[in-house]
Amino acid sequence: MKAEDYDRHDALGLAGIIRRGEVSAAEVCEAAIARIEALNPALNAVVAQRFDRARRQAREVAPGTTEIFAGVPILLKDLIQQHCDLPATEGTRLLADRRAARTSELTSRMEAAGAIVLGRTNTPELGLDATTESELFGPCRNPWDLERTTGGSSGGSAAAVAAGMVPMAHGNDGGGSIRVPASCCGVFGLKPSRGRNPTGPPPYGALCSLLTVEHVLTRSVRDSAAMLDATCGVRPGTLFALAARHSPSFLAWLRRPPKRLRCAVLDEPLFNQDLHPACRTAIHEGAKLLSRLGHTVELVGKLPIDANALAEAFLVLLLAECAHVIEVFRSQVGRRTRTREMEPVTWVLNAIGRGMSSTELAMALTRVQDAQWAMQRFHASVDILVSPVLAAPPLPLGREPITPIEQVLIRLFHRLLMPPLTWILRRRVRREAFEWVGYTQLANLTGLPAMSVPLYWTADGLPIGVQMSAGLGEEALLFRLAAQLEEAAPWFDRRPGPVSERQDNPSQARGSTVQTHLH
């Protein structure tokens, strides 16, 4: 299969030509592997592979097979979800040698739909950062500009999809980790409602399930809808679960254009961050497009939430879950964690999380519940909330939330210096958490579905996504709107320039609308 033929199909398109016998699954698999091998040295998106086993699986896919994604190559993010053939490092040196004991529920559902997992994608340590630059694997580079971040924490998956390595890749989203990299890399990313997809496996517990959902990043809207059809539904007794599966299927809903929608546009800071002019322009351009499509569009000055209280609640939940997960990992390795096995910022987050009180946690959960009720009332009169994904375009690589001097102090004298350091750094962690990524966390806290739609590119070729969210359980409405936007302002063929030509000269990293090529 020629590279250009592989590149022009989405996942459902590839499955279709395999099903009709126009190409074999083995040929598609080889095309994907060739693309990864050619582009990954420049991007560092894929950090583990199972190419030989994938090849064997692909050879067993026969024409006419009925699985919706039969023979389609995908990648699995190296966080939370596991595959029995692959490492499960969570992006940290502490687990650098860890192998998955079994395949996770969501991963198994993807494979049952016919998808073939080729490997794992880069992620920041424990998924804690909004940029994918772990010490274990090194930075993942944005196909549109090799000196820019892919976002996080599903940065490797977003880069792989944007560069055309695979048509879709797994991601999870606990504070924007699907939507942020989707915005940075110019692909489509939907965060489903809380309780729509299975989460896990352990040690990620209740707080993770409260904030985090699992899904994929894709180039087309229909691929995202079809994969949610294949994976949605949780077992009875699950702590967070929607009442029932959606009917008809999400994919079938795409054939029904949405009615005239009531859209509220938020173009002001949500958590006190400064909004870059390009991101404000992206929102206004998105609003104009919605208006041209016949939807009602109005500016909303303020949402019915206490933003400061909610920001503090998010930070408390994030820190508490960080401390919990690290404690479980410590018990699994059977010894105390060494400072060199975790990044300095993770040490700080863990120390702060361990020092929080049960009262802080209870108050955070109360604020989350209040916000969820408030936003459900808001969506009783507003179908779609339109807002930025990020406060600025993709940032340059190399952002340091903790100074080099502080990193040295933490590594050498962490036990002695932690009490005063935690007081100083907690304020900074909160600022860092909302300075650039300050619009996506609301959907995680309230459980609402939200998506990043690639509708805007800056003058120098950097993508900026537009975020749209809806009421709880309204993924079908978001998919229908996204399909309408995709038809009105197509993005599928808008790709980064040839990445492999820029491998040895990252300064030539500006994106363009030129088709990506293999060399």
Q: How far apart are CA 90 and CA 77, in angstroms?
A: 9
Q: How far apart are the first and last CA of the chain?
A: 15
Q: Give the CATH number of the domain where residue 193 resides.
A: 3.90.1300.10
Is 301 part of a structural domain of the chain? no
Count other Cβ atoms within 10 Å, centred on residue 355: 15
Say whether 77 is catalytic: yes
Classified as helix, coil or strand, 145 is strand
Q: Identify the active-site residue in 77, 157, 191, 452.
A: 77
Q: How far apart are CA 194 and CA 382, in angstroms?
A: 20
Residues whose CB falls within 8 Å of the CB of residue 501, separated by 6 or more in sequence, listed in order: 508, 519
- Residue pair 122/80 in contact by the 8 Å Cβ criterion: no
Q: How far apart are CA 94 and CA 502, in angstroms?
A: 33
Instruction: Determine whether 168 is exposed, middle or buried from the number of CB atoms within 10 Å of its CB (0-12, 13-18, 19+).
Output: buried
Its domain, for residue 121, covers 3-235+242-260+474-502
Q: How far apart are CA 168 and CA 154, in angstroms?
A: 12
Is 409 part of a structural domain of the chain? no
The maximal CA–CA distance of the chain, rounded, in angstroms, is: 66
Q: How far apart are CA 300 and CA 311, in angstroms?
A: 20
Q: How far apart are CA 114 and CA 58, in angstroms?
A: 10
What's the confidence (pLDDT) of residue 338?
Answer: 81
- Residue pair 479/215 in contact by the 8 Å Cβ criterion: no
In the 8-state DSSP scheme, what is residue 125? G
Three-state secondary structure of 308-347: HHHHHHHHHHHHHHHHHHHHHHHHHHCCCCCHHHCCHHHH
Q: Could you list the pLDDT tens digit for every one of the 519 residues in the chain?
A: 888 899 999 999 999 999 999 999 999 999 999 999 999 999 999 999 999 999 999 999 999 999 999 999 999 999 999 999 999 999 999 999 999 989 999 999 999 999 999 999 999 999 999 999 999 999 999 999 999 999 999 999 999 999 999 999 999 999 999 999 999 999 999 999 999 999 877 667 788 889 999 999 999 999 999 999 999 998 777 778 885 555 689 999 999 999 999 999 999 889 878 999 999 999 999 999 999 999 999 999 899 999 999 999 999 999 999 999 999 998 888 888 887 899 888 888 888 888 889 999 999 999 999 999 999 999 999 999 999 999 999 999 997 766 666 666 666 555 555 566 666 667 667 777 788 998 999 999 999 999 999 999 999 999 999 999 999 999 999 999 999 999 999 999 999 988 854 554 443 333 332 222 222
**Per-residue burial over 78-90, b = 16 or more CB atoms within 10 Å of its CB, e = otherwise:** bbbbbbebbbbbb
- The single residue listed with the structure tokens 């079994």 is 102
Residues whose CB falls within 8 Å of the CB of residue 202, separated by 6 or more in sequence, listed in order: 328
What's the confidence (pLDDT) of residue 237?
Answer: 72
Dihedrals φ, ψ of 46, to 5°?
-105, 125
Q: Identify the active-site residue in 24, 157, 177, 387.
A: 177
Overall domain count for the chain: 1
Is 421 part of a structural domain of the chain? no
What's the confidence (pLDDT) of residue 511?
Answer: 36
Beta bridge partners of 116: 73
Is 182 part of a structural domain of the chain? yes
Dihedrals φ, ψ of 262, to 5°?
-95, 110
Residues whose CB falls within 8 Å of the CB of residue 262, separated by 6 or more in sequence, listed in order: 295, 296, 298, 381, 382, 383, 384
Is 25 part of a structural domain of the chain? yes
Q: Identify the active-site residue in 24, 104, 134, 153.
A: 153
**Beta-carbon-side half-sphere exposure of residue 109 (alpha carbons within 13 Å):** 19
Is 294 part of a structural domain of the chain? no
Is 295 part of a structural domain of the chain? no
Q: What's the predicted TM-score (pTM) here?
A: 0.93
Beta bridge partners of 173: 213
Say whether 193 is catalytic: no
Q: How far apart are CA 51 and CA 293, in angstroms?
A: 44
Q: How far apart are CA 519 and CA 516, in angstroms?
A: 10
Dig out the tokens for 203 from the structure: 């040690």
Classified as helix, coil or strand, 446 is helix
Is 329 part of a structural domain of the chain? no
Cα–Cα nearest to 347, from 93, 140, 100, 25: 93
- Residue pair 42/142 in contact by the 8 Å Cβ criterion: no
Q: How far apart are CA 82 and CA 200, in angstroms?
A: 9
Residues whose CB falls within 8 Å of the CB of residue 54, separated by 6 or more in sequence, listed in order: 29, 33, 73, 116, 117, 118
Residues whose CB falls within 8 Å of the CB of residue 212, separated by 6 or more in sequence, listed in order: 80, 172, 173, 174, 177, 199, 204, 444
Say whether 331 is catalytic: no
